[in-house]
Structure formats: C-alpha cells, structure tokens
Amino acid sequence: MNCKDIKEALHAFCDGEATSLEKKIIEEHLLSCASCQEEVAKIKASLSLLKAQETHSAPEGFTKEAMLLIKERQEYREAREDEGIPVDFVLSSMFFFARGLWRGVSFLKYLPHPAYSFRTRKLYLSW
C-alpha cells in the first residue's frame, strides 16, 4: 500500500476500528514512513483532546419539550398552508420586489450627466 491508501485508513487505525490485517500493514508502513508517523501523532493528539472535553447531558425533560415544540410548529405550518399563500412565499416575494426596485433606481448613477463630457472627462457647468 502507498501513503495515500495508508492515510485513508489511519483514522480507523487510531480509533481501533481497523482489522488485524490492516493494523499489521499500517504498523509495517509506519516503521519506514515519517510523514505517516506525523499524521498518526496528529490524529492521536486530536483524539486525546476530544476525549478530554467534558460532556454535558441535556436537562431533564428536554427531549419531550423539544418534540412538543416540533409538533406544534408542524401543526401551525399545516394550518397556515390551508389558509392560502404561505408566509415564506410572501416574504421572499417582498424581498425580491424591493431588491428589484433598488436595482432599478441604482442604474441612474450610471446615466450621463447633461453637464459631463465623457470625451474630455470634465464637468461643464453653465450658469
């Protein structure tokens, strides 16, 4: 196996999920390859950092409350769909309409000013 194949299998090796044959091949390769040894060291360092992180559990009743909120939201959306035009559609339409107005007005700055000469790039004011 070449380094590319070995590097793809290094995470499984470090996690202890590699088969015995893969372990043997990787260990033999690591004896002669410095870059793969560095990669293993990096993976093991990141795994040790992850294991050192403290874990937090969800508060009691969190799952039940979350599922209840999801159900309520679904019921609300289903009720809104029966009423007619979805709110999301209306809001997005308003956004694109306003954006179109802004782009329609913003082109005015590119129109030539009647007192500006593009040929000489000077502004001529007559009073």
CB 18 within 8 A of CB 26: yes
Q: How many structural domains does the chain have? A: 1
- Domain assignment present for 48: yes
- Domain assignment present for 12: yes
Q: What are the tens digits of pLDDT across the range 78-101?
A: 877 666 666 777 788 888 777 776
* pLDDT, the chain, mean: 79
- Domain assignment present for 35: yes
SS3 for 122? strand
Whole-prediction pTM: 0.43
- Domain assignment present for 8: yes
Helix then strand then coil, in percent of the chain rounded to 5, is 70, 5, 25
Give the C-alpha separation, 122 to 127, whole Å.
16
Q: What are the tens digits of pLDDT across the range 5-36?
A: 888 888 888 888 888 888 899 889 888 888 88
- Domain assignment present for 24: yes
Domain interval for residue 36: 3-52
- Domain assignment present for 27: yes
Chain-centre distance of CA 79, in angstroms? 31
Which one-letter amino acid corresponds to residue 61?
G
- Domain assignment present for 10: yes
More confident residue, 47 or 115: 47
- Domain assignment present for 70: no
